[in-house]
A and B are shown apart, each in its own frame.
Chain A
Amino acid sequence: MKPFCALLAVATMIVTPAFAADTSSITIGFTASRTGPLNVDSTGQERGFEFWRDEVNSKGGIQVGDKRYQVKFASYDDQSVGGRVQQLYTRLVNQDKADFLFSPYSSGLTAAAAVISEQYGKIMIDSGGAEEKPFQLGSKHLFMVITSAGHYLSGAIAALKEKNPHAKIAMVYSDDPFSKTVLAAAKEQAKEAGLEVVMDESYAPSTTDFGPIVNKIISSNADAFMGGGHYSDGATLARQMYDQKANLKWISILVAPADDKFSELGAAALGVTVPSQWEPQVNYKPQFGPTTEEFAKAFEAKLHQKADYHVASGYTAGVVLQHAIEKAGSLDTEKVAKALDQTDVTTFFGHIKFAADPKHHGLQVAHEMVLAQWQKANGEVARQVVWPTSAKSADLIYPINAGH
């Protein structure tokens, strides 16, 4: 027995390095806001990245020519702070030798990270920052898989116009690049639609008490609300508008209601609409990657929770990068960038295509958003797709009345 064991040990020592040498890998670097105010939304995006990595690796990895590469991550907690993002992305490139990068969560942090990715000529797939500005600075390696901020509230404006062509809108939003861009575009779209904007104000992202703001909304005689920013402030706003009975007929809040955690607000969540990059009810016919049903079921089976749009957009960042690498048949940055430029593919997340002109290079031009609303059906509070009508899973409730 002893000689057999010794032989086995020697064989293992010889054989293991041979296997290790064969197991090539691609390193993708990113930061996530595991702490700080962006934590909730960023966690969804990171789960999407991880779920994609695990799925790809379980199927043997990414096919590059006749070789398969396992996906490895190098990641850090950016604490929701822009300054840390730049330090950490520099580290990801220089020390961790990341082959490709994913964006952090939020427009502010993505803009900070994009400076580093462009400086080092690394491809960064952006699934967490919707602001257009970084794409107007001549970037060559930055690609956005989500709909950009300027179109976030287009669906909400169109749906509101259909229900009430004379609606008076209060626009109150966080003083951050993403929210300001979304609401600036929405204001123009509202004016074009003939809707009146009776209040247009931003608040500090650290605001904890929205009482004076809610009183101001009431005084403005608005019957519709559009605004918010990210999870913490959006959830607090929704609760205070409910507590103070703002009597609004329509509420659209950015980002926060797209997370299942929003249902913890109970009655304050009902009727609130949210522009969403993806909902489990949408049903695109993918040319690459899983179907919506396959993705949603596998995610729920593995993590025992439902996927939201941050999870789906994170996963899509991986799918799109994988698609481009496999098309390029190479890990060379410029070849993969060229493949991304030529990408024109439908995934479970929707149609993905990037702007090729130098003034908007990398901006998403094909993906479309939906409008979701928190509704109560069969005793359960859940998000339903209500706009566009061609994609709806339930009728839009207007006016909302549960104390708003």
Chain B
Amino acid sequence: MLGIFASIIDGVLVGLVYGLAAMGLTLIWGVMDVINLTHGAMLVAGMLVLYLLTAALGLSPYATLVPALIGGFIVGLLLYWIAIHRLVGRPPLMSLLSTFSVNLVLIGIGTAMLGTAPFNVPVSVPGISMGRYTFPGPHILAAVLAAVIAFLLYLFLHYTRLGKAIRAVANNREAAELVAIPTTRVLAISVGIGVSLAAVSGVLIGTLFPFTVLSGDSYQLKGFIVTVLGGLGNPVGALMGGIALGLLEGVVAPFVPVSWTLVIEFSLFVVVLIAFPGGVFAPRRGAL
């Protein structure tokens, strides 16, 4: 019984990080109907920032969140102008292919420069024990930081002028333009924030598990499941979706062979798509 309880807590902890990782993906979709397929590469960029800055400069792993946040924002602005700007408002397939191409280039550069050998960043934070089960410190800290960042994003979107502008553009771009909101700038900033979130979650994931240049794909895939669960374009829903996915992974494991977890996850993905096309946690579109 204690084992199941431990799995549930573990699931919530890792689910919060999954949620944060999907938040950038869903934010960009919500604002401009663009599925950003560079998301996995941006997660890996965050992991590499963590590895390089801790190994080269001896920075504390958590101190690398700041350069990842700033660097991610700048890269996001560049990504918008290079691969997204001309395609906003056009069929989603075009931006899908455009961001996919950028993703291939980024992964190619990463592979050529760094290879695909795993990197490991040892993080020493005391954990909490409950009977025979231990919740590692980095997991707890990553979950807390993910929740804090998600809360700050919520405050930003609902209580700042720029945040309200982003929500306005997400709800109705033409109406937003009519009230003099500089929509192009808002769209660029949204991509910047989305990529920032990916880079930051990459840092947090890098504190938990070893990673390679190719690790982004599996987290991007989880990001899609989380996004579908949480509702496309809904960052708060993404966090809920992340927790739901983490819980599912934790709760299912004690009862079925672990190799079935992926089957169950993707079956749920299909069921949710059929039964709740708008997402379980966000019944309406554009719920930023």
Which chain A residues have a beta carbon within 8 Å of chain B's beta carbons? 34-37, 39-40, 43, 172, 175, 201-204, 206-209, 211-213, 215-216, 218-219, 231-232, 235-236, 239-240, 243-245, 247, 261, 264-266, 268
Using Cβ atoms and an 8 Å threshold, which residues of chain B touch A212?
7, 10-11, 249-250, 252-254, 258, 261
Query: Contacts A239-B120, A244-B136, A247-B132 given: A202-B254 contact, CB under 8 Å?
Result: no
- 7 smallest CB-CB distances across A and B, nearest first, come from A212-B253, A219-B3, A243-B136, A245-B134, A39-B116, A211-B10, A35-B116
**Residues 104-159 of B contacting A (Cβ, < 8 Å):** 111, 115-118, 120, 122, 127, 129, 132-136, 138-139
Using Cβ atoms and an 8 Å threshold, which residues of chain B touch A35?
111, 115-116, 214
Using Cβ atoms and an 8 Å threshold, which residues of chain B touch A43?
115, 117
Query: Does B117 contact A215, Cβ atoms closer than 8 Å?
Result: no
Give the residue name and chain of the A residue nearest to B2 (CB): A219
Between-chain CB contacts (< 8 Å), 27 pairs: A35-B116, A37-B212, A39-B115, A39-B212, A172-B258, A202-B258, A209-B208, A211-B10, A212-B7, A213-B258, A215-B3, A215-B7, A215-B133, A215-B250, A231-B117, A232-B210, A235-B210, A236-B209, A236-B210, A239-B209, A240-B209, A243-B136, A244-B136, A245-B127, A245-B134, A265-B120, A265-B122
Answer whether residue B262 sits at the interface, using C-beta atoms and an 8 A cutoff: yes
Answer whether residue B257 sits at the interface, using C-beta atoms and an 8 A cutoff: yes
Query: Contacts A218-B3, A232-B210, A245-B129 given: A211-B139 contact, CB under 8 Å?
Result: yes
Give the residue name and chain of the B residue nearest to A212 (CB): B253
Query: Does A244 contact B134, Cβ atoms closer than 8 Å?
Result: yes
A231 vs B258: C-alpha distance when bound (angstroms): 19
Q: How far is the CB of A255 from chain B (nearest CB, A)?
A: 13
Query: Does A201 contact B258, Cβ atoms closer than 8 Å?
Result: yes
A215 vs B257: C-alpha distance when bound (angstroms): 13
A21 vs B233: C-alpha distance when bound (angstroms): 68
A40 vs B111: C-alpha distance when bound (angstroms): 13
Most central of B10, B134, B210, B259 by chain A CB within 10 Å = B210
Query: Does A175 contact B259, Cβ atoms closer than 8 Å?
Result: yes
A209 vs B253: C-alpha distance when bound (angstroms): 12
Query: Contacts A201-B259, A261-B117, A265-B122 given: A215-B254 contact, CB under 8 Å?
Result: yes
Query: Does B116 contact A208, Cβ atoms closer than 8 Å?
Result: no
Answer whether residue B169 sits at the interface, using C-beta atoms and an 8 A cutoff: no
CB within 8 A of B254: which of A39, A219, A235, A266? A219
Answer whether residue B31 sits at the interface, using C-beta atoms and an 8 A cutoff: no
A265 vs B208: C-alpha distance when bound (angstroms): 12
A268 vs B136: C-alpha distance when bound (angstroms): 13
Most central of A206, A211, A232 by chain B CB within 10 Å = A211
Query: Does A218 contact B132, Cβ atoms closer than 8 Å?
Result: yes
Answer whether residue B77 sits at the interface, using C-beta atoms and an 8 A cutoff: no
Q: How far is the CB of A36 from chain B (nearest CB, A)?
A: 6
Q: How far is the CB of B274 from chain A (nearest CB, A)?
A: 24
Give the residue name and chain of the A residue nearest to B219 (CB): A208
**Residues 239-288 of B contacting A (Cβ, < 8 Å):** 249-250, 252-254, 257-259, 261-262
CB within 8 A of B250: which of A211, A235, A244, A266? A211
Interface string of B192-220 (1 = CB under 8 A from A): 00000000000000001111101100110
Give the residue name and chain of the A residue nearest to B208 (CB): A209
A232 vs B116: C-alpha distance when bound (angstroms): 10
Using Cβ atoms and an 8 Å threshold, which residues of chain B touch A244?
127, 133-136
Using Cβ atoms and an 8 Å threshold, which residues of chain B touch A204?
259, 261-262
Using Cβ atoms and an 8 Å threshold, which residues of chain A touch B259?
175, 201-204
Using Cβ atoms and an 8 Å threshold, which residues of chain A touch B111?
35
Q: How far is the CB of B98 from chain A (nearest CB, A)?
A: 24
Answer whether residue B14 sits at the interface, using C-beta atoms and an 8 A cutoff: yes
CB within 8 A of B133: which of A207, A213, A218, A265? A218
Query: Does B209 contact A206, Cβ atoms closer than 8 Å?
Result: no
Query: Does A201 contact B257, Cβ atoms closer than 8 Å?
Result: yes
Using Cβ atoms and an 8 Å threshold, which residues of chain A touch B258?
172, 201-203, 207, 212-213, 216
Answer whether residue B226 sits at the interface, using C-beta atoms and an 8 A cutoff: no
Answer whether residue B6 sits at the interface, using C-beta atoms and an 8 A cutoff: yes
Query: Does B120 contact A39, Cβ atoms closer than 8 Å?
Result: no
Query: Contacts A201-B257, A206-B218, A236-B210 given: A215-B6 contact, CB under 8 Å?
Result: yes
Using Cβ atoms and an 8 Å threshold, which residues of chain B touch A203?
258-259
Q: How far is the CB of A120 from chain B (nearest CB, A)?
A: 30
Query: Does B117 contact A208, Cβ atoms closer than 8 Å?
Result: no
Query: Contacts A36-B116, A240-B209, A245-B129 given: A211-B257 contact, CB under 8 Å?
Result: no
Most central of A34, A37, A215, A218 by chain B CB within 10 Å = A215
